Amino acid sequence: MSDDEGWRSQEATAYLDSVQRAGFAWEFLRRNPAYRRDFKIMSRCIATGTATDLEAARALGKRWGLSFPM
């Protein structure tokens, strides 16, 4: 089963009852096709040297309202 297929199962999401905001937000983002696309783009920019890790993380963070430990 892929990541996308089992997200509605009780077993796969039971822990969300006790997760804090950051964990819940991560679960939303990792399933969001637009975020996944942006993350792939960020990763490609880093891999090709188009952007530094910091530049790419800041751009992704700004777009999605995220902060990364630097």
Q: What is the pLDDT tens value at each position of the chain, 70 positions in all? A: 455 555 567 776 676 677 787 777 888 888 899 999 999 999 999 999 999 999 998 999 999 988 766 5
Q: How far apart are CA 16 and CA 27, in angstroms?
A: 9
| SS3 label, residue 51 | coil
pLDDT, residue 69, reads 67
Whole-prediction pTM: 0.67
Q: How far apart are CA 15 and CA 64, in angstroms?
A: 24
pLDDT, residue 8, reads 65
Token pair for 31: 């399933």
